[in-house]
Chains A and B, each alone.
Chain A
């Protein structure tokens, strides 16, 4: 028996919603439980595990929706949506998505680990760029050096975790009755 054409769309919508909720929970938990690492924009980025998984399984558009939705939900929950902090969060998340989405087009050259490293570096660079604009002082960009170096361990860790998760996710149950 073959499912109607929109069955796959239903599955993708449900999966997107689930991943958005997971990303929001991870982002909020990290904000509450883990302190920042000393440079604006440098965090462990647990929610990025979900973004990488979403990018791999659902594509760039769904990953962008989940990214922006996560920033919105966590920003509201933590009271940081308005003002410079909110702008920095959106800039960092959007830049990370853009870097990862670009690399995802070249799967023969870059794995999800590379996506995550690029996303982490882009996140830090974008947040420091916004911080420089907000303060009106380009000297803030001197923190870019330590920020880029500090972005490597979380980027690698998140990439390896995402790869491990993706290797263990089973095919959806619906696919068993398709065709």
Chain B
């Protein structure tokens, strides 16, 4: 390997670590946004439920169980989205063939009203 090769390997490694560090520094949240070809919907990770999203190539099934959000079923051939596990801040669940992404989103915090 030449010095230029070593430089390239170092550059790619540093770029990867930098992007990961930026993701780790992102604020955590309990809101979840499901983006699909037909629109966007917001759900709460605090409320258990199953959400079926119509993708470009079929259905993508997203479940919320005990605060964890996962894609449990998809019509895509590689099933990367299903094997990705639970949603984490900075690590969205993506089903590219269906055009579906599940990402964390910042919910509005604070009190809506105070009763006196």
Residue ranges of A at the interface with B (Cβ–Cβ < 8 Å): 35-36, 38-40, 78, 80, 83-85, 88, 106, 109-111, 113-114, 117-118, 121, 127, 130-131, 134-137, 139-149, 151-152, 155-156, 159
Contact = CB atoms under 8 A, between A and B. Distances in A.
A152 B10 CA distance: 10
Contacts, number: 123
Interface of B: 1-5, 8-9, 12-13, 15-23, 26, 33, 35, 56-57, 77-78, 80, 83-84, 90-92, 94, 96-101, 103-104
Contact of B97 (A85, A139, A146, A147): A85
A137 B35 CA distance: 7
B1 A111 contact: yes
By Cβ-Cβ distance, the 8 closest A-B pairs, closest first, are A148-B16, A145-B19, A145-B20, A114-B5, A109-B4, A135-B101, A139-B103, A149-B16
Contacts of A136: 35, 99, 101
Contact of B77 (A80, A109, A148): A80
Determine chain B's interface SS by DSSP, over half rule.
Answer: mixed
Contacts of A156: 9
Contact of A111 (B2, B16, B33): B2
